[in-house]
Every structure is written in structure tokens, then in C-alpha cells.
Amino acid sequence: MSKVALVKEGNIAIISVQRPEALNALSREIVDEMDVLIEEVKKDADLRCLIFHSEKNFAAGADIKAMAGCNEEEAKAFGFSDVYDKIAELPIPTIAAIEGYALGGGMELAMTADMRIAGESAKMGFPEVTLGIFPGAGGTIRVPKLVGPAFAKELIFSGDAVSAERALQMGLVNRVVADNQVLEEAKKLAGRIAKRGPVAVRMVKEVITRGLEEPDVNKGAAMEAEQWAKLFNTYDQKEGMKAFMEKRKPVFENR
Ligand code: DAK
């Protein structure tokens, strides 16, 4: 039976893991199912934002029981990075809406998203070292980029889970809301993003991603300027500025 669901609400998609009996721990099969749904999201030109949200617990990590007996080759095959990288590279913005536990491979999934919203009793961390391993699905790369090396090392070396409030202080999450408001807040944010010029939103996501990988600020700024100017070939730029001058709301056409 399928353990991952994709729901579309207008131009917003929500992907959820449905394995409550194991606190939504992620098996290779679950991540493979997610992969199929990500392909569907990629093909749907009407979608403007993707939310990851699972009831009660975001995901208590990769499935330890499935991983326990792996040898080196099997451990490589278990890896989620192929799918996680695909999620990080999605052209539309993504939001992780975190309730309950987001641990290990679950937190690494949340880290592939562009933004994170946490419920006030969420617990987040990287307990891998308590199991004799370390985060291997992008955590060692994405966490230091997000919160800096010192907080990343504190989280990863200690294996301690942190509260939503502490995660907010570190910059691990964008905002903290009441537990029962997590998905609503994510939908509200997604809804606002969905109203903006879609070509500009997609392009600026790519510019930010490429900019973060570009160590030379001047080269980064040159790339930004080039992409920015390209928007003046789009219908949506003409419509957005015309609507401003005509004092009405723009009607973007994603072109
Ligand atoms: N895997 C499998 N089952 C899990 C699980 C997990 N990660 N987390 C929870 N469960 C299962 C429990 O085994 C239990 O099922 P039964 O044994 O009763 O059948 C059920 O969910 C409820 O859990 P608890 O009874 O333990 O619930 P509690 O409320 O008492 O405790 C807890 C909640 C989250 C503190 C505890 O369940 C816990 O410590 N869970 C493990 C958390 C964890 O260590 N997560 C990190 C896993 S390691 C890589 C790819 C991926 C990764 C690394 C590399 N590449 C190949 C390079 C990722 C690694 C990880 O995520």
C-alpha cells in the first residue's frame, strides 16, 4: 500500500508520508514513492509551490530497522541523496511544514526545502551519531550552509534534538507557529507566493541557488544582472508593471 500521498489544492501541492506506526520513518521504498510524485510535480506547469507535511510527525529519520544490517554497498544503495537533490533542484519554491519529530533523514528532507515552518512542540535534530553513523543524505552539506558551521557542528556532533524555539534562534526554521497551525501557515505562505509572477519566482530561486554556490561575489552579481534583464522579455513583467500603473492586480500568465 502506498505510504506517500500527493494532494493538489489549486496551484499548491502537498506531499505527505503516511506511516504513523513508525513516526513516518523513511524507508528506501517510501523515498522511491516520493521520487515518482516529485516527477509528477515537475511535469505540472500549473503548480506554484510544494509543501511537505505529514500528520503528527514530519519523519523520525531513515528507517533504522531497514538500515541496521546493511554492508557498505547496501548502505550506498539505501542513500536518499538522489531524490533529495532532485527535490532541492525543483524550480518551484518548497516549504517543509514540521510537526513533531523531524530527525536524521527526516530533517535532511526538511533541509532540501527552501523554507521551514515548525510547530511549537516540534523536535528537530540529527541523532545519527547516537547510532554510530553521521548524516549522509545531504545534512553535512546543507546544514552548515543554512546555520553556519558552529551551530551545524553542535547539532551533528551532539545528536541532541532542539526545540522549535531553539531551531528558530539558529536559523534552522523560518518561523514557529501553534502546532495546529503548521499546515495552515504553510498554505498561507504558499498561497502568497503563488500569486506572484511565476517566471520571476522560478528564476530568482535559481539565481539564489547558483549565487550560494558562487564564491566570487562579482561573478554572482553579474549572473544575477543577466538573469534579471531576461525578465524584460516576459509577458509577466509587462503585465506586472502595467497593472501597477493601472492600479489593479496583475494577471500573470507564466510566460
Ligand atoms: N526507524 C524505524 N522505526 C522507527 C524510527 C526510525 N527512525 N523511529 C521510530 N520508529 C518506530 C519505533 O521503532 C516504534 O515502532 P515499534 O518498535 O514499536 O514497532 C515506533 O516507531 C514508535 O517509536 P517509539 O516507541 O520509539 O516512540 P517514542 O515516542 O518513545 O520515541 C523517538 C520517539 C523519535 C525519540 C524514537 O522513536 C527514536 O529515537 N527514533 C529514532 C530516531 C533516530 O535515531 N532517527 C535517525 C535515524 S538515522 C544515508 C541515508 C540516510 C541517512 C544517513 C545516510 N545514506 C545512505 C548515506 C539517515 C539516517 C537516519 O535518519
Amino acid sitting at position 181: Q
Which of 3, 19, 23 most suits a substitution to test ligand 1, by most atoms within 8 Å of the C-beta?
Answer: 23
14-62 tens-digit pLDDT: 999 999 999 999 999 999 999 999 999 999 999 999 999 999 999 999 9
Per the CB < 8 A criterion, the answer to whether 86 and 38 are in contact is yes
* Alpha-helical regions (H) of 56-119: 64-67, 72-78, 81-88, 105-112
Output the CA angle 112-117-123, nearest 5 degrees: 85
From the centroid of its chain, how far is CA 220? 23
Of the chain, the percentage scoring pLDDT greater than 90 comes to 98
Active site residue 108: yes
Q: Which of 78, 82, 122 is nearest to 103 (CA)?
A: 122
Q: 64: Cβ below 6 Å to ligand 1?
A: yes
Per the CB < 8 A criterion, the answer to whether 56 and 99 are in contact is yes
Report pLDDT for 79.
83
Distance separating alpha carbons of residues 76 and 53, to the nearest angstrom: 27
CA–centroid distance, residue 149 to ligand 1 (Å): 26
Name the stretches of the chain with pLDDT < 70: none
Q: 125: Cβ below 6 Å to ligand 1?
A: no
Report pLDDT for 254.
97
Output the CA angle 114-18-41, nearest 5 degrees: 45
Distance separating alpha carbons of residues 28 and 60, to the nearest angstrom: 14
Report pLDDT for 5.
98
CA–centroid distance, residue 61 to ligand 1 (Å): 6
Report pLDDT for 1.
85
